[in-house]
């Protein structure tokens, strides 16, 4: 009997070319598909909630696949983990209705961007944060971060050359936290354009350094000019924390 | 004028063959020596407080070197970091008396051993902990851990084939902590035999699983038999946290 299995996945993106397989390297999706194919003894096609770039991490990526199998739902997790490298971990495996689609049914996603803010870099965070040795004004960063909340045309917050049917997105909430030398930016939204979170993070870093004004966010939302914003922050600071689905699964 | 510079060093040991250069790979010591030689424009010989094995990490390794230089002490740190890879970081550089020796003047060292204790492994801790999916009895582990405190002949807690003039060491204190899925073992002592902390950690894991009795520690201290203890725990869980010197430096 064909079932639809929803996976919650954590991965360290350091050694992969992102979620989706690229011509120049292996993607996390393919590694999981291959592991599932070995376990299920059939070809597996995995649908992820969305792509993550090379070097980007996930603590709660969601994906689903259809398979004809009798393995108990919780044992699928165990079997997959036994067939996966240690930098990819299946946190959960559950049966969902056949019509469930990780990508199209996603209601909102939360990302976290991590900044290591200290005079000296930390060897243990080099792949999990962007290193900023300058003093950052957290108050200004917080104020600027709040300005992205709401339904806006985020065209200015998108990597050049990327395609999207519409560039209107809704950001539900933002939050900034400091723990020791780590500054964490949390953002929850209906969806994000390509590089949107990293452009927000790069702009907030510039605001924190005093290189950009808080008002650059409003100006960019209005004028849609990418040039008003800061650089795209490095991928290794970005984590996909969770994907939420409204329906009970 | 020749000066003696004391460095405090953090490193992620994942990509190195330990502190000291081995025939089969590069050591952290050599990487720092090469960086210092570039900065100081002279040959540099670095003395570390002790070796760490391949895969072992440090948050506060101490080393010193002599050089004829006029660079301000705090600028040495900055110049070295600019010449070091991101997995090695100089946290501090200070002038010390010419007679100071990182190895022979060390009064005590503190190590931490990290265990990731959960049904499912965590991709972000794979290089920084040993993964134990079984349930562990922390109370028993704590009790066993306390038995190593004191001045003992730790011959049973030494890797086979290693050489040491004396196998008597003093352990000043032990502590076990749990934070989420991480169990951390802290041990402070006058010095440690080769693999001693990892043998203690491996034995405590076996005690926690119920595979060994708490009394195996006392029995091994008395009989000096390595076979009474558990396996040598994996290197990636071990961190050299700090080295203390009694003298004011």
* Residue B99 CB-density burial (10 A; 0-12 exposed, 13-18 middle, 19+ buried): exposed
Whether A225 and A125 share a structural domain: yes
pLDDT (tens digit per residue) in A54-90: 999 999 999 999 999 999 999 999 999 999 999 999 9
Joined together, the tokens standing for residue B42 give: 């002279």
Joined together, the tokens standing for residue B112 give: 């931490």
Q: Residue range B49-54: average pLDDT?
A: 92
What local confidence, expressed as pLDDT, does residue B25 receive?
79
In a domain, A203, yes or no: yes
Q: Which of B14, B35, B32 is nearest to B102 (CA)?
A: B32
Check A124 against B123: CB less than 8 A apart. no
Torsion angle of alpha carbons A117, A122, A126, A128, nearest 10°? Answer: -60
Check A122 against B88: CB less than 8 A apart. no
* Local structure of residue B85 (DSSP, 8 states): -
Whether A74 and A88 share a structural domain: yes
In a domain, A123, yes or no: yes
Whether B232 and B111 share a structural domain: yes
What local confidence, expressed as pLDDT, does residue B24 receive?
75
- Catalytic residues of B, by residue number, are 53
Check B120 against A89: CB less than 8 A apart. yes
Strands (E), A69-197: 88-96, 106-117, 130-132, 150-153, 168-179, 182-189
Whether B84 and B115 share a structural domain: no
pLDDT (tens digit per residue) in B98-114: 999 999 999 999 999 99
Whether A117 and A65 share a structural domain: no
Q: Which of B104, B130, B158 is the last residue of a domain?
A: B104
Q: Which residues of B151-174 are buried (b: 16+ CB within 10 A; e: fewer)?
A: ebebbbbbeeeeeeeebebebeeb
pLDDT (tens digit per residue) in A5-53: 999 999 999 999 999 977 777 899 999 999 999 999 999 999 999 999 9
Q: Residue range B186-208: average pLDDT?
A: 97
Whether A35 and A157 share a structural domain: no
What local confidence, expressed as pLDDT, does residue A200 receive?
98
Q: Closest-CA residue in chain B for A90?
A: B120
Check B123 against A90: CB less than 8 A apart. no
* Local structure of residue A14 (DSSP, 8 states): G
What local confidence, expressed as pLDDT, does residue B203 receive?
98
Q: Residue range A122-134: average pLDDT?
A: 96
In a domain, A249, yes or no: no
Residue whose structure tokens are 């899925």: B181
Joined together, the tokens standing for residue B218 give: 């006392």
Phi-psi region of A131 (alpha: psi -120 to 50; beta: other; left: phi over 0): beta
Whether A199 and A150 share a structural domain: yes
- Per the prediction, chain B carries an average pLDDT of 95
Whether B183 and B228 share a structural domain: yes
Q: Which residues of B touch A126 (CB under 8 A)?
A: 12, 86-87
B215 backbone dihedrals φ, ψ, rounded to 5°: -65, -15
Q: Closest-CA residue in chain B for A118?
A: B91
How far is residue A14's CA from residue A5's CA, in Å, rounded to a whole number? 26
Contacts (Cβ under 8 Å, ≥6 apart) of A129: A114, A115, A116, A122, A182, A236, A237
Q: Residue range A110-129: average pLDDT?
A: 96
Whether A209 and A111 share a structural domain: yes
In a domain, A176, yes or no: yes
Smallest CA–CA distance, residue B216 to chain A, in Å, is: 32
**Does pLDDT of B207 surpass 70?**
yes
In a domain, A134, yes or no: yes
Whether B138 and B50 share a structural domain: no
B234 backbone dihedrals φ, ψ, rounded to 5°: -60, 145
> Per-residue confidence at B18, pLDDT binned at 50, 70, 90?
very high
Residue A53 falls in the annotated catalytic set: yes
Q: Residue range B9-29: average pLDDT?
A: 90
Which position among A12, A53, A92, A95 bears the catalytic label? A53
Q: Residue range B178-196: average pLDDT?
A: 96
Check B124 against A128: CB less than 8 A apart. yes
Whether A118 and A229 share a structural domain: yes
Check B124 against A77: CB less than 8 A apart. no
The residue range of the domain holding A9 is 2-104
Q: Residue range B52-78: average pLDDT?
A: 96
Instruction: State the pairing for strand pair B130-132/B106-117.
Output: parallel
8 Å CB contact between B128 and B183: no
**Does pLDDT of B23 surpass 60?**
yes
CATH number at residue A91: 3.30.70.580
**Does pLDDT of B26 surpass 90?**
no
In a domain, B249, yes or no: no
pLDDT (tens digit per residue) in A134-176: 999 999 999 999 999 999 999 999 998 788 889 999 999 999 9
Give the distance from CA B168 to its chain's centroid. Answer: 18
CATH number at residue B132: 3.30.70.660
What local confidence, expressed as pLDDT, does residue A249 receive?
53
Q: Which residues of B74-87 are buried (b: 16+ CB within 10 A; e: fewer)?
A: eebbbbbbebbeeb
CB atoms under 10 Å from CB of A220, counted, come to: 24
**Does pLDDT of A229 surpass 70?**
yes
Number of domains in chain B: 2
CB pairs under 8 A between A and B: 50
Joined together, the tokens standing for residue B8 give: 């405090």
Whether A142 and A51 share a structural domain: no
Query: Could you give the C-alpha distances from B233 to B2, B189, B198, B205, B215, in angstroms and in order?
Result: 42, 19, 5, 9, 19
Q: Which residues of A touch B90 (CB under 8 A)?
A: 120
Q: Which residues of B touch A121 (CB under 8 A)?
A: 81, 86, 89
Contacts (Cβ under 8 Å, ≥6 apart) of A89: A9, A10, A11, A81, B120, B121, B122, B123
Pick B89's closest partner by Cβ from A77, A89, A122.
A122
pLDDT (tens digit per residue) in A175-221: 999 999 999 999 999 999 999 999 999 999 999 999 999 999 999 99
B172 a known binding residue? no
Joined together, the tokens standing for residue A225 give: 């000019």
How far is residue A95's CA from residue A107's CA, in Å, rounded to a whole number? 19
Q: Which of B104, B119, B134 is the last residue of a domain?
A: B104
What local confidence, expressed as pLDDT, does residue A21 receive?
75
**Does pLDDT of B21 surpass 90?**
no
Q: Which of B41, B71, B104 is the last residue of a domain?
A: B104
What local confidence, expressed as pLDDT, does residue B205 receive?
98
Q: How far apart are the first and last CA of chain B?
A: 19
pLDDT (tens digit per residue) in B130-168: 999 999 999 999 999 999 999 999 999 999 878 888 999
Q: Which residues of A touch B123 (CB under 8 A)?
A: 10-12, 86-89
């Amino acid at each position: 009997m064909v079932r639809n299995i929803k996976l919650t996945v954590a991965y360290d993106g350091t050694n992969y070319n992102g979620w989706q397989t690229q011509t120049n390297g292996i993607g996390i999706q393919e590694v999981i598909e291959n592991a599932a194919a070995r376990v299920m003894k059939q070809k597996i096609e995995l649908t992820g909630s969305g792509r993550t770039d090379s070097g980007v991490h996930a603590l709660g990526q969601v994906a689903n696949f259809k398979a004809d199998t009798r393995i108990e739902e919780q044992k699928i997790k165990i079997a997959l983990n036994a067939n996966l490298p240690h930098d990819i971990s299946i946190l959960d495996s559950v049966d969902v209705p056949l019509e469930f689609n990780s990508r199209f049914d996603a209601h909102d996603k939360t990302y976290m961007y991590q900044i290591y803010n200290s005079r000296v870099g930390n060897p243990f965070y080099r792949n999990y944060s962007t290193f900023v040795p300058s003093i950052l004004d957290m108050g200004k960063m917080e104020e600027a971060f709040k300005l992205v909340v709401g339904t806006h045309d985020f065209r200015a917050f998108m990597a050049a050359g990327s395609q999207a049917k519409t560039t209107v997105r809704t950001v539900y909430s933002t939050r900034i936290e400091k723990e020791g030398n780590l500054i964490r930016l949390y953002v929850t939204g209906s969806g994000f354009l390509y590089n949107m979170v990293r452009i927000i993070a790069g702009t907030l870093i510039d605001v924190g350094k005093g290189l950009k004004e808080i008002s650059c966010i409003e100006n960019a939302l209005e004028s849609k000019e990418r040039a008003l914003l800061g650089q795209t922050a490095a991928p290794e600071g970005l984590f996909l924390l969770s994907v939420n689905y409204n329906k009970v699964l």
